[in-house]
Structures are given as structure tokens and as C-alpha cells.
Amino acid sequence: MPKCLECDAEITLKADVEAGEIIDCPDCGTEFEVRSVDPPTLDHAPQEEEDWGE
């Protein structure tokens, strides 16, 4: 079971989770990207940028 990279809480992944999905830590709310499912690996979610356009 992966742990939160900020608060070390254990994060339970849903059975149907796939790489690339964004999830959050149930304790501190930090968002992570699922980088791989087997083994379960998390990294910080991509940041939001502001952009001109359309």
C-alpha cells in the first residue's frame, strides 16, 4: 500500500485504478498521480498552469 509523500498516511488504491489517474491523500488532501499500479507508485500530481487562449 503506497504512502502519502507529504504526511506518510497509507493510501488505499481502488481496485480499478490505472496509471495516470489523480488521487488524493485521505488525511492531508495532497493530490498524487498514480505512476504505476504494480508495484503501486505515486508522485505529485502535475501542477496547474495558467495560459492565454481561445
Partner 1 sequence: MNDQDAIALLRDLCGAYSPSGEEAEAVALLAERAAAAGLSTSIDGAGNFIGERGNGPATVVLLGHIDTVEGFISPTIADGRLQARGAVDAKGPLAAFVAATSRAVIPEGVKVVVIGAVEEEAASSKGARYVCNRYAPTATIIGEPSGTSGITLGYKGRVGLTLVAQQPHAHTAAEGRSIAALAAAWWTRVEEYCDRRNHNHRTFDRLDPHLAEFHTSTDGFTDRVDVRGSLRLPPEADVDELHRRVAELAANWGDASLSGHLPAFRSDRKTKLVGAMIRAIREDSREPTFKLKTGTSDMNVVGPVWQCPIVAYGPGDSRLDHAPDEHIVLDEYLAAVRVLTRTIVSRLG
Binding site for partner 1 (CB under 8 A): 18-24, 31, 33-34, 45-54
- Residue 32 bridge partners (DSSP): 23, 44
Q: How far is the CB of 42 from partner 1 (least distance, A)?
A: 13
Q: Cβ closer to partner 1: 1 or 46?
A: 46
Q: Cβ closer to partner 1: 1 or 47?
A: 47
**Longest C-alpha distance within the chain, in Å?**
42
> What is each CA distance from 47 to 21, 29, 38, 50, in whole angstroms?
14, 15, 24, 10
Q: How far is the CB of 7 from partner 1 (least distance, A)?
A: 19
